[in-house]
Chains A and B, each alone.
Chain A
């Protein structure tokens, strides 16, 4: 069974989520819970750094879509992705996640793009 961990950081007002491991149903739920916890604290700008999570399955994708809808649609916040593997990039494009948040080559570029 794979080990899944999440670390977070707050850089210049941008909340960064860095999952590590396979983002399956449980991994996706953990990312979702992390965002749910950060929203009431007033965070509006989020970066999902998936560099250490090259594989995200359908259920993980569903959780990320849901959290993107909450951040972008419901809370009028901003979301960016970084560290997308070729596979994750292809999947995100196919399911429309890149319409909800842009992808950047590095975390730093994503922070700058979000005005952090």
Chain B
């Protein structure tokens, strides 16, 4: 696209801050006659005085009298006139040559420039930024609390150049400013004298509900050392749902290639589906490309991706083994049995790592029934003892050949298990055809095995079968069905999640939350946090295990907080395993500060943890040294202590409180500040429903949440689940209007051809949309799934 056209298009934006920022780009551009005419039309429709002034200034450059602008001698006269030609003055100030600068600055001082109009002040401040002196500092500082954001930001820029130290006294009002761009700039300024508190402010902006605030934080993210914001950015990218914002954040990663990042991004990618999976995949590949191009690694991106993917699989398996190996030591017989069976399942799928653990367990286990069941399962994949004599190998082979001609249910259970084990993507269709008809007659353990096959190699064809399993009362079968559906057809599971998340079995709850995270990770993580507050250690254990399934960046802070409160030794060990498996410098620093700050009663536990973390970090990156890591951690600790006493005035919590109170009193000027309230990006109704159900006692009947503005905000390129009545149909455009009475909103939804027949007016609708925009108060979107 023609860059000038692109900029002109942005001049039609309803947001004045966008229009204003575009002008500064157009200012220096050469424009053709046609473009000037178009620009003039845009000026005619512009209502905001400050922007009009800037547009006139741009046009004045092309006026025939442009050459006759005042020169050095005429400037004194111009400054003296109260009804001066401000455009000429602004243009002159922006073109002053160094030789004349001192004299012009003196003239400005004499004229009392501080009293100039708000539209002229940015030009004066821009001039003083270049040619000002210490005598201008007080006047410039005085404008750092101006109510026009254009004047204010020009004053901040000038003061930053003339006397950056003076900005310190303005930090609180700047952090409180209604304009998010100015607030994020204030955070950057704060970083100079209190980096850790500045990062807390940055974090709060990045994870704000306001799109404006997130945009500003992302823009300024380039001005922080990437190492300092790396983990925040990773967490951001894994919970953000707006594709445009994810792309912007992606640029920060790609521009700052780091060898530790790709694995983290891979984890984030694996925790997503659909468009977000693709977006993170693109960023991951971009980072690998940058690493290669920057000469930081020698491996080609594709080659590195292969290595990372196998590393990721190994890590998942390791965590799984660690989790269940802890269960082998439990005092509860059922937990020991379940844990052993889980590990045997891995062995039966060809992962040999847990075999030694199981052999040791079998030697030490005192409960003979457990030993017998584990041995039986390990050998045959069956839980119940065999009641039929073992087949001779030759006879077994003959039997296998005859499988096709025999009803599946009549085959001996042991043979059936062998068939399940041998099913792969190639023979799946053929083998499943003979199994499906008999599925309901199979014992539960075999149904679980079949669901495992579907999860491994299946297709959406078996969706109905899996959905039927969700009606079961058996926790293992339910979990297996959820796991299989989450891989094969997560959309089909989506509408059932509210009920599953409040299930009485913790395992089912955890499995459902893991799937919910594919659709709305932010809320899923909040649900797990709720489970971590349970008084039952087992429920907390399940929550911790669930956290291990999320990408580490999203949950590292939650795990560290959980460790602070966790009293159960087995759970502590579980958290240890996860933290050690994901050892990175940020975690090490935080644990080190916790251990050494003197505020924790668990210093010994934290010391043990950070020692382990250091060992892991060094093992993964030989360039790191123990001495270097400890020196950096010590520095961090000192900085924390130093800042504790200084930060009271600009402390994040204090600033947030003041802003909340002032927002209650007055709404910001919508003409200058665009506050987009993005409450829940994905599935607002579903999210609210899940919240309600999860928080409610299991016996209470599900209720729809009350509609409210908090969940009603829309955001472009996000997904949303809606429920309503079809109020209009345009067959030629395949557009359907849906009135969502709970949300009191109307959606105009495009139904792609593949979705088949359109619903009729009056029909109920329940489905997931991708929001594409808003026209005349109607939200527009594209149908993703109809439930």
Contacts and interface: CB of A to CB of B under 8 A. Distances in A.
A3 interface: yes
A58 B225 contact: yes
Interface in A1-54: 1-3, 21-22, 24, 54
Contacts of B251: 87, 90-91, 94
A94 B248 contact: yes
A24 B129 CA distance: 28
B496 interface: no
Contacts of A94: 219, 222, 248, 251
Nearest to B292: A55
A35 B437 CA distance: 77
Interface in B227-259: 248, 251-252, 254-257
Interface size class of A (residues with CB under 8 A): 20 to 34
B255 A57 contact: yes
A62 B290 contact: no
Contact of B296 (A2, A75, A85, A99): A2
A36 to B, nearest CB: 17
Contacts of A3: 295
Contacts of A74: 130
Contacts of A87: 251, 254-255, 286, 290
A69 to B, nearest CB: 9
Interface residues of B, number: 27
Nearest to A101: B28
A98 B24 CA distance: 11
B255 A22 contact: no
Contacts of B369: none
A91 B255 contact: yes
A58 B226 contact: yes
B98 interface: yes
Contacts of B256: 57-58
A98 B129 CA distance: 20
Contacts of B313: none
A58 B295 contact: no
Contacts of A98: 25
A94 to B, nearest CB: 6
A75 B130 CA distance: 9
B391 interface: no
A20 B293 CA distance: 11
Contacts of B255: 55-58, 61, 87-88, 91
Contacts of A73: 129-130
Contacts of A21: 294-295
A95 B219 contact: yes
A58 B24 contact: no
B294 A55 contact: yes
A74 B101 CA distance: 11
A73 B160 CA distance: 14
A85 B289 CA distance: 12
Given A87-B254, A99-B24, A59 B225 contact: yes
Nearest to B224: A58
A95 B254 CA distance: 15
A76 B296 contact: no
Contact of B252 (A24, A58, A85, A88): A58
A31 to B, nearest CB: 15
A84 B286 CA distance: 16
Given A73-B130, A87-B290, A91-B255, A62 B25 contact: no
A24 B258 CA distance: 12
Interface string A70-81: 000111100000
B97 interface: yes
Contacts of B286: 87
Interface in A70-116: 73-76, 85, 87-88, 90-91, 94-95, 98-99
A55 B222 contact: no
Given A61-B222, A76-B97, A87-B286, A54 B293 contact: yes
Interface in B16-54: 24-25, 28
Given A73-B129, A73-B130, A90-B251, A62 B223 contact: yes
Nearest to A75: B98
A64 to B, nearest CB: 11
Contacts of B130: 73-74
Interface string B257-274: 100000000000000000
B98 A58 contact: no
Nearest to A95: B222
B219 A22 contact: no
A73 B98 CA distance: 10
Interface in B210-228: 219, 221-226
Contacts of B293: 22, 54-55, 85
Given A55-B255, A55-B257, A61-B255, A22 B222 contact: no
A2 B290 CA distance: 12
B182 to A, nearest CB: 15
Contacts of B97: 76
B295 A2 contact: yes
Contacts of A58: 221-226, 252, 255-256
B709 to A, nearest CB: 31
A91 to B, nearest CB: 5
Contacts of B296: 2, 22
Which of B98, B252, B255, B286 is the most central at the interface, judged by chain A CB atoms within 10 Å of its CB?
A: B255
A61 to B, nearest CB: 6
A99 B25 contact: yes
8 contacts: A57-B256, A58-B226, A59-B225, A62-B223, A87-B251, A91-B251, A94-B248, A95-B223
Interface of A: 1-3, 21-22, 24, 54-59, 61-62, 73-76, 85, 87-88, 90-91, 94-95, 98-99
Sort A-B residue pairs by CB-CB distance and give the 10 closest, nearest first: A2-B295, A22-B294, A55-B294, A57-B256, A55-B290, A54-B293, A58-B226, A91-B255, A95-B222, A99-B25
Given A59-B225, A87-B255, A95-B223, 10 more contacts: A24-B294, A54-B290, A55-B254, A55-B294, A57-B255, A58-B255, A87-B254, A87-B290, A88-B255, A94-B251
